[in-house]
Amino acid sequence: MKKYSLITSIIVAALGFSSCVKLDRTPTDAYSSGTFFTSEPAALQNLAAVYQYTKMSGFFEDGNTIYMDDISDNAYCPFANQLPSFIAQGTATAAKISGAAYVDLYRTYFTYIGVRNANFFLQNIDATPMDADKKKVMKAEVRFLRAFNYARKLMCFGGVPIVTKVLAYGEENNIPRSTEAETAKFVTTELDSAANVLPLTRGSADYGRVTKGAALALKARVELFMKDYANAEKDAKAVMDLGLYDLYSDYEGLFWEKNQSDAGRNKEVLLEVTYQAPTWGSYIDGLYTVAEGGWNSVNPTQSIVDAYETKNGKPISQDPTYNPDKPYDNRDPRFYASVIYPGQTWNGRIFNSLQPVGPDEYYNSSKGNRSRTGYCLRKFCAPLDKLPNGDPTLAQNLNFIVIRYAEVLLTYAEALIEQNKDLPLAKAAIEKVRARVNMPVLTETDQSGLRARVRNERRVELAFEGFRWYDMKRWQIGGQVMNGPVYGVRPGTVNMTTGVVTFTSPNHITVGSDRVFNEKRDYYFPIPQEDLDADAALIGHQNPLW
């Protein structure tokens, strides 16, 4: 499949917009709309820049969505030069931390560069000599992208200043911070408008551009976050009723580059960020194991390992067949597709993080890029014989899925459960997600039981896709699941011929310092201090206790 024709023009377009600063202010070397909106190709270049600076991707320093799991109970960040290590320990500050230059989630998500590019586009596209219907669709795309940007700000920071035009210097000082309710209303209204204009499908040349289904699904995501369950149900069901989407048969392969031309796989994908190396490549070496040249920036925790049920469809604490001395046997297939564990065969070798043997992936090795928990990420990381260029340290064409149908089904189910309404339909939606990996049907039928199941289903189905922190916030469980030690594997040995694991201690290793989650503070990111200092309208409006 030809990938998103705008990709090759993104870098060129981006160079023209990279000098934008602060809250949407026009730079002193402001670019003339007469230069950038002279033709349809020029408009497409501007549109590409809006896509790029919305930062919807999950990869390292290109959106960082995957790394959001490092500030949840799903994963551990081992590096002091990445901000998630400070956030998880409760030591992050609104001011920049010296040395923690990477994966700065606060600044990645608060910046208004993407908003400014969107506003610049919307203010100037009408003057472009091109087909009016194409302009109408482009405007709807940009309103979606701006809404995505504000939705993420809402979920991370709460209410934020809503800017809908390109500002001259000084104007930002007069724009107050909106409330959460006002910000959410702006987002959902924009998405409603966009959904009414966007096409149902895209041709192969335009693959990666937003559609009606993506707008409805993002709206349902925001409504679920805001506990507007009736509308979340309505919009998720609207996506389902389009009849365009389904689940891909291969859960692990959904996240492999080699399957991106598979029509079955693409029926699950409502929106993804597309790449075309070497012009615009995705970099995934931060996710791979050390033996493949990776950094292991996302270390799965024992907590997420324990969240995967047994193949009998029961939590490990409730299944009498579960053997704690053989903890990796007979588990939910999504566990094997998402986590590399001791004794697993991986790239032709038996993975051993319990001993300093072979390529030395020992959790207590002196190698800086080892996994500290003894578990490594498998989701997104295709085995080398399934990786088209065979080298994860090079630029890839792996797309990042922003919205997929499994999330829509789980949103629909949770919205029904929280309303205590149509519980058989909610149960069926959860079971559809489980059936893809041959997991048993649920035995629970009441609201309480189904609530517990849908929450765990979201955790394992969407693991490492950047949802968990937002779910912790929605459910107000941060203090419960984050405070205290991070646990990893149990010490032991691995038979390097058979892969059999023999544990030498009943206790799991602890990793790094204890985590600290202040429930009165940490459900919100701080507004970066430099933005507070620069914009008078934000002074006195920092989030509580920051």
- What's CA 349's distance to the chain center, in Å? 30
**Cα-trace Rg, the chain:** 23
pLDDT band at 168 (very low <50, low <70, confident <90, very high): confident
Binning the chain into helix, strand and coil, the percentages to the nearest 5 are 40, 10, 50
Residues spanned by the domain of 26: 7-64+104-197
User: CA 399, 232, 150, 17 torsion: positive or negative?
Assistant: positive
pLDDT of residue 404: 98
CA–CA separation, 424 and 40 (whole Å): 50
pLDDT at 261 over 90: yes
Short-list 499, 466, 460, 283, CA closest to 381: 283
- pLDDT, the chain, mean: 93
Q: Which residues pair with 511 in a beta bridge?
A: 486
With a pLDDT cut of 70, the percent of the chain lying above it is 94
Report pLDDT digits (tens) over 390-426.
Answer: 999 999 999 999 999 999 999 999 999 999 999 999 9
> Coil, helix or strand for 24?
coil
pLDDT of residue 29: 36
pLDDT of residue 147: 98
CA–CA separation, 380 and 207 (whole Å): 20
Residue 182 falls within a domain, yes or no?
Answer: yes
Tokens coding 186 = 């702006």
pLDDT at 15 over 50: no
Query: Domain tally for the chain?
Result: 1
pLDDT band at 124 (very low <50, low <70, confident <90, very high): very high
pLDDT at 24 over 60: no
Report pLDDT digits (tens) over 515-533.
Answer: 999 999 999 999 999 999 9
Residue 192 falls within a domain, yes or no?
Answer: yes
- Looking at per-residue confidence, does 29 or 152 come out higher? 152
pLDDT at 18 over 80: no
Main-chain dihedrals φ then ψ at residue 41, nearest 5 degrees: -60, -35
DSSP 470-533: HHHHHHT-HHHHHSEEEE-PPPEEE-TTT--EEES-SSPPEEEEEE---TTTTTSPPPPHHHHH
Main-chain dihedrals φ then ψ at residue 69, nearest 5 degrees: -70, -20
Tokens coding 337 = 């597709």
pLDDT of residue 117: 96
Short-list 399, 370, 404, CA closest to 284: 399
pLDDT of residue 170: 78
64, 283 in Cβ contact below 8 A?
no
How far CA 364 is from CA of 261, 278, 369, in Å, comes to: 41, 36, 11
CA–CA separation, 484 and 318 (whole Å): 24
Residues 6+ apart with CB under 8 A from 253: 259, 262, 265
Residue 171 falls within a domain, yes or no?
Answer: yes
pLDDT of residue 86: 97
Residue 498 falls within a domain, yes or no?
Answer: no
pLDDT of residue 47: 96
CA–CA separation, 467 and 543 (whole Å): 22
pLDDT of residue 529: 96
Residue 500 falls within a domain, yes or no?
Answer: no
pLDDT of residue 291: 95
Tokens coding 254 = 């959904």
Report pLDDT digits (tens) over 415-457.
Answer: 999 999 999 999 999 999 999 999 999 999 999 999 999 999 9
Report pLDDT digits (tens) over 68-105.
Answer: 999 999 999 999 999 999 999 999 999 999 999 999 99
How far CA 42 is from CA of 6, 12, 127, in Å, comes to: 11, 11, 12
CA–CA separation, 203 and 3 (whole Å): 10
Amino acid (one-letter) located at 66: I
Residue 181 falls within a domain, yes or no?
Answer: yes
Residue 108 falls within a domain, yes or no?
Answer: yes
- pTM of the full structure: 0.94
pLDDT band at 62 (very low <50, low <70, confident <90, very high): very high
pLDDT at 179 over 70: yes
pLDDT at 317 over 90: yes
Amino acid (one-letter) located at 152: R
CA–CA separation, 546 and 158 (whole Å): 14
pLDDT of residue 33: 61
Residue 337 falls within a domain, yes or no?
Answer: no
- On the 0-12 / 13-18 / 19+ scale of CB atoms within 10 A, 312 is middle
CATH of the domain at 35: 1.25.40.890
pLDDT of residue 32: 53
Q: Left (φ > 0), alpha (ψ -120 to 50) or beta: where does 374 sit?
A: left
